[in-house]
Amino acid sequence: MSNSAAKNVSAAAPVTLEGWYETEFGLDPVHETGDSLTAIVSRLHKHDPDNFGHTDCEFELIGNGFERDVTTQVVSMIERMS
């Protein structure tokens, strides 16, 4: 790749998933940053497959200039992974 082509390729801005989900020990806070919501959800699901996305939860996705509720989207993603 030439230098000019490399300059035109920009890395995706990271996003942060914030919120909580319920476990047998109480609420587990979430503050995870990654390249995409999919990457973050996958990582968290691998860490806690029995609880993450299967229990009561609330999540917001925060990025460069935006913040939105993604609770329903996260639960749907987990349902497709299971």
Where do the domains of the chain lie?
A: 19-81
* Structure tokens, 27: 């609420």
* Structure tokens, 12: 């995706």
In the predicted model, is pLDDT for residue 7 greater than 50? Answer: no
70-74: average pLDDT? 97
Q: How many Cα atoms within 13 Å fall on the side-chain side of residue 18?
A: 8
16-36: average pLDDT? 97
Alpha-carbon distance of 43 to 14, in angstroms, equals 15
Query: Residue 11 — pLDDT band, cuts 50, 70, 90?
Result: low
44-66: average pLDDT? 95
